[in-house]
Amino acid sequence: MFPSNTNLAPYLESLSQNQWVQLPISIDFALKLKYAAQRRFTTKQFRDSTIFDIKLSSQYRRDKICWIDPSDVNLDEAEAEILKNLDVLKENLRLFFRAPIQTFESHYAIYEPQDFYAKHKDITTQNNKRLLSFVIYLNESWNPSDGGELIAYHDQQILFQTNPLIGKMLLFNSDLEHEVTTCYSTRYSLTGWYRKL
């Protein structure tokens, strides 16, 4: 997943100090994930996004998701590899932060033109087990005019703002407010959370 010889320690230290960090992802590996997502999309495995199985108002969120189930016997090779790598990263995070990070969950997200996700937090009263959120971008090219930026806020100020270009993974505190701006091109990502049980 990460380029060879990537030392995670400086990234985890930056996460500790700044509440977020951007890590490098192998582009070849990210492309394999994109192709796996596209295959799932063409075979109609995606569904409209929900929260706690409740369909959301299109004024709040418009994207489609497909969960990656570790027990799925038909996982793509790249999907099996990403789950293995995310588990290794989980252990690094748990040891570095001495935090009760016990598991993770992940899904593909596809934003088609005019899709967006309004300001929100990944940790809520109903779902307060999430500790760290992550996004792996799968888009080979992306221009400012394509929209779809992830913007995170702290104390009403922009903490970071990034376009969804392939080759990077964002890791940030789940209690940060963030949004995905309106997309004008189809946007692929793999999104997930490290969490307590």
Residues sharing a CB contact under 8 Å with residue 167, sequence separation 6 or more, in sequence order: 24, 25, 26, 27, 30, 137
Name the residue among 147, 141, 142, 191 with its Cα closest to residue 171: 191
Q: What is the pLDDT of residues 68-119, one digit of tens each?
A: 999 999 999 999 999 999 999 999 999 999 999 999 999 999 999 999 999 9
pTM of whole model > 0.85? yes
| DSSP label at residue 147 | B
List of residues 6+ apart from 66 with CB closer than 8 A = 37, 40, 41, 45, 46, 47, 107, 108
For 7-19, what is each residue's pLDDT tens digit? 999 999 999 999 9
pLDDT in tens, 36-67: 999 999 999 999 987 654 555 667 889 999 99
**Residue pLDDT, tens place only, 109-137:** 999 999 999 999 999 887 889 999 999 99
Instruction: Compute the distance between CA of residue 54 and CA of residue 33 in angstroms, rounded to an integer.
Output: 28
Which domains occur in the chain, in start order?
Answer: 9-195 (2.60.120.620)
